[in-house]
Amino acid sequence: MVSADPRVKSVFDDIRSTRNSDFVNNLWRALANQPPLLERTWSSVKEVMIAPGTLDPLTKELIYIAVSTANGCSYCVHSHTAAARAKGLSGQQLAELLAIIGMAAETNALATALQIPIDTEFEVG
Amino acid sequence: MVSADPRVKSVFDDIRSTRNSDFVNNLWRALANQPPLLERTWSSVKEVMIAPGTLDPLTKELIYIAVSTANGCSYCVHSHTAAARAKGLSGQQLAELLAIIGMAAETNALATALQIPIDTEFEVG
Amino acid sequence: MVSADPRVKSVFDDIRSTRNSDFVNNLWRALANQPPLLERTWSSVKEVMIAPGTLDPLTKELIYIAVSTANGCSYCVHSHTAAARAKGLSGQQLAELLAIIGMAAETNALATALQIPIDTEFEVG
Amino acid sequence: MVSADPRVKSVFDDIRSTRNSDFVNNLWRALANQPPLLERTWSSVKEVMIAPGTLDPLTKELIYIAVSTANGCSYCVHSHTAAARAKGLSGQQLAELLAIIGMAAETNALATALQIPIDTEFEVG
Amino acid sequence: MVSADPRVKSVFDDIRSTRNSDFVNNLWRALANQPPLLERTWSSVKEVMIAPGTLDPLTKELIYIAVSTANGCSYCVHSHTAAARAKGLSGQQLAELLAIIGMAAETNALATALQIPIDTEFEVG
Amino acid sequence: MVSADPRVKSVFDDIRSTRNSDFVNNLWRALANQPPLLERTWSSVKEVMIAPGTLDPLTKELIYIAVSTANGCSYCVHSHTAAARAKGLSGQQLAELLAIIGMAAETNALATALQIPIDTEFEVG
């Protein structure tokens, strides 16, 4: 049911070769109906998540899971937890990640409920 | 205006000695009106963010900033960005963090809008 | 299993005649257990979404889908995407809607993370 | 305080010529510290919001405002309301937009609270 | 700067007499530019928050504050905390409310991150 | 599949004796893989939701449901609605709760969209 648009084949081929796997997950298959959006989204993901940088690949996945949880995106939590496992996520690291996500959600709510003014010490000079 | 409750003094003393600084930021001052909540929240933050674990302190702050951004907590974004800077956050690391937070928000929205079914490959066996 | 309350029958009849269809979707059936809430909600939806105004019916549905996606309401994304299709949503329009929703989510996150001050040029005089 | 990176000048020049205005708003100035993110974000915004498509420019802004409101991004609500005004937003259109955003938020909450199952009629065949 | 529309005067008069106070807060003043939205919103608030029911007025305000916090609406947190104080909110009740809001935010995040399946015991028969 | 860690058995025993029921719901079972997080979370829930205070147990559940709905946590809405029913939630109370949650979501969105300044009357002196 995937589009015959040549841009779709090109992106799918790049996903497969970049990941060194035949598997193309449902997000990309769903985006295949919108070739320009598929191209732009994959290009951005590749630049942000895969190109070498100062944050290691597993740390990037932890951040992605954290954002996806806070945004309530079940699909993204699943897909990036799978990606993190493939990059070596340990049970202990997952436990710490969960604790931080939960703790942050709690203090976020408290700070919002209490309408706390920002300390001048936190302003960048 | 801080409470005279001895639990408040005890927590504030612990914040100061744990952080090796006299500065106690507004979140804790606001919670001083609720001593049991202050005690429990600080105890949890200390356990989650400060006790040694498998994630390094800067990585923990990056995750905290990511969650706080997704939850729209301006105070928390400020306080944890300051904490991250104190732990050595570089401009390049911040740029990568921002890119991941933005990218995740975008694909979270796309996955939600497209109502994408979870790939069976992502289910843990 | 729908309530025998006459207010429910009256609202359901109005839904059917307004939409010129026998189908009453699950949201209204669930609200049938709360007749005053059912009446008030349907009355508001009818006034906001169906009464003629300056925005055309399809544009209204696009906005509804956008809000529902950002709020993570899977049911509402489904029901209003169906409504938009019934009002002529094209594949190209859907692609553009998705791109805007994703792009907005990304820049929303960046603006929040960067705590950007509002330009004085944007303030209404 | 804007970066001397040539990529920043290039993007700023393109923002100015695309919008036919000397004004560069704070979002782009803040992103100037992250040139690759600045380039990618502007390139996406230009493709999504400015390139001609099937949705007219004002409709695109209405959708952007709706998403930004649901995501609680004050900066983005301000900047895109200003953009919508510049594209001819009338008071009546704004009133209808607000009514839809509010109504959608209400039914989103009700559908989530009631955990309403998706009607089979809404599934795409 | 308030509209001369007679519907605005009528709603403002009703707000004043219902609350037995001359003060009309900014939300209603802002909505005065959209008379039908003003009328419908006030009518709903009056029915939901002020008409006698099974939940007492202070409990209703606690729920309103909780939702407003979770939705990140600073204005609404302020206005409904003021309303709760006027209805007798004690410091101890506020402390318990804050603790529940924070705790719920934390377990909400954990349940989302862990993608926990709903126990069959929770399904209504 | 539950962990053999003695901390898990201890928490599960406490859940069962506190609730006077053999049933341990899935949230706690999922947390069993993270014993320190399980211990801390249960300890907090017990302190916040079960220890006697100024808010009665049913009111606490209403607030928990309200937050969980706004945060889009389907699991938590289900589990705390079940808990509220066990504590005597009536159909009429549920109807009023739903109306408040929906109404708050709507005015939250309006206040955010309109960027309403906080009345000085709401500031605590």
Q: Which amino acid is at C92?
A: Q
CA-nearest of B14, B36, B38 to B26 is B38
Q: With bands split at pLDDT 50, 70 and 90, how would you rate the model's confidence at A4? A: confident
| Alpha helices by DSSP H, C22-90 | 26-31, 35-45, 57-70, 74-86
Q: Does C2 have pLDDT greater than 70? A: no
Average model confidence (pLDDT) across chain D: 94
Average model confidence (pLDDT) across chain C: 94
Coil/strand/helix, residue D95:
helix
Q: DSSP letters along D8-70, please?
A: HHHHHHHHHHHHTSS---HHHHHHTTSHHHHHHHHHHHIIIIIS--SS-HHHHHHHHHHHHHH
Residue C49 CB-half CA count within 13 A: 26
Q: What's the rounded Cα separation, in Å, for the pair F112 and D70? A: 8
Q: Does F50 have pLDDT greater than 60? A: yes
Q: Does B2 have pLDDT greater than 70? A: no
pLDDT of E2: 55
Q: What's the rounded Cα separation, in Å, for the pair A49 and A90? A: 20
Q: Find out whether B110 and B102 touch, Cβ atoms under 8 Å.
A: no
Structure tokens belonging to residue D122? 């809404």
Backbone angles phi, psi at C77, to 5 degrees: -60, -45
pLDDT of F4: 79
Put simply, the answer to whether F121 touches E82 (Cβ < 8 Å) is: yes
The length of chain F in residues reads 125
Q: Does E94 have pLDDT greater than 80? A: yes
Q: Which chains touch A (3 or more CB pairs under 8 A)?
A: B, C, D, E, F
Please indicate if any CB of chain D lies within 8 Å of the CB of F77.
yes
Q: With bands split at pLDDT 50, 70 and 90, how would you rate the model's confidence at F23? A: very high
Summarised one tens digit per residue, pLDDT across range C22-71 is 999 999 999 999 999 999 999 999 999 999 999 999 999 999 999 999 99
Q: With bands split at pLDDT 50, 70 and 90, how would you rate the model's confidence at A2? A: low
pLDDT of B4: 79
Q: Find out whether C49 and D100 touch, Cβ atoms under 8 Å.
A: yes
Q: Find out whether F107 and D99 touch, Cβ atoms under 8 Å.
A: no
Coil/strand/helix, residue E96:
helix
Write the CA distances from B20 to B13, D34, F124, integer angstroms: 10, 33, 33
Sign of CA dihedral C32, F78, F109, A77: negative
- CB C57: neighbour CB atoms within 10 A? 15
Task: Choose the mutation target among D3, D27, D28, D34 for the interface with B, i.e. most B CBs under 10 Å.
Answer: D34
Q: Which value, in Å, is the radius of gyration of the alpha carbons in chain F? A: 18
pLDDT of F93: 97
Q: Which amino acid is at E44?
A: S
Q: With bands split at pLDDT 50, 70 and 90, how would you rate the model's confidence at B118? A: very high
Summarised one tens digit per residue, pLDDT across range F60-103 is 999 999 999 999 999 999 999 999 999 999 999 999 999 999 99
pLDDT of D4: 79
Q: Which residues of F13-44 are buried (b: 16+ CB within 10 A; e: fewer)?
A: eebeeeeeeeebbbbbbbbbbbbbbbbbbbeb
Q: Which of C2-6, D4-8, E19-23 comes out lowest in average pLDDT?
A: C2-6
ipTM, interface predicted TM-score of the complex: 0.95
Q: Find out whether D40 and D10 touch, Cβ atoms under 8 Å.
A: no
Q: Which amino acid is at A106?
A: E
Please indicate if any CB of chain A lies within 8 Å of the CB of E100.
no
Q: With bands split at pLDDT 50, 70 and 90, how would you rate the model's confidence at D3? A: low
Summarised one tens digit per residue, pLDDT across range D97-120 is 999 999 999 999 999 999 999 999
Q: Does F24 have pLDDT greater than 90? A: yes
Nearest CA in chain D to A41: D44
Q: Find out whether C105 and D67 touch, Cβ atoms under 8 Å.
A: yes
Please indicate if any CB of chain D lies within 8 Å of the CB of E43.
no
Find tokens 């951004």 and name the residue: B69
pLDDT of E3: 63
Q: What's the rounded Cα separation, in Å, for the pair B97 and D125? A: 40
Q: Which chains touch B (3 or more CB pairs under 8 A)?
A: A, C, D, E, F
Find tokens 């007025």 and name the residue: E57
CA-nearest of A29, A113, F77 to C72 is F77
pLDDT of C4: 79
Q: With bands split at pLDDT 50, 70 and 90, how would you rate the model's confidence at E9? A: very high
Q: What's the rounded Cα separation, in Å, for the pair B104 and A83? A: 14
pLDDT of C31: 97
The A residues from 8 to 37 touching E (CB cutoff 8 Å) are none
Q: Max CA-CA distance within chain B?
A: 57
pLDDT of B31: 97
Provide the shortest C-alpha distance from residue B111 to chain C (in Å).
9
Mean pLDDT along residues D26-55: 96
- Taking contacts as CB-CB distances below 8 angstroms, the residues of chain D near C100 are 48-49, 55, 60, 63-64, 67
Q: Does E125 have pLDDT greater than 80? A: no
Mean pLDDT along residues A79-88: 96
Q: Find out whether A65 and E110 touch, Cβ atoms under 8 Å.
A: no
Summarised one tens digit per residue, pLDDT across range B7-50 is 999 999 999 999 999 999 999 999 999 999 999 999 999 999 99
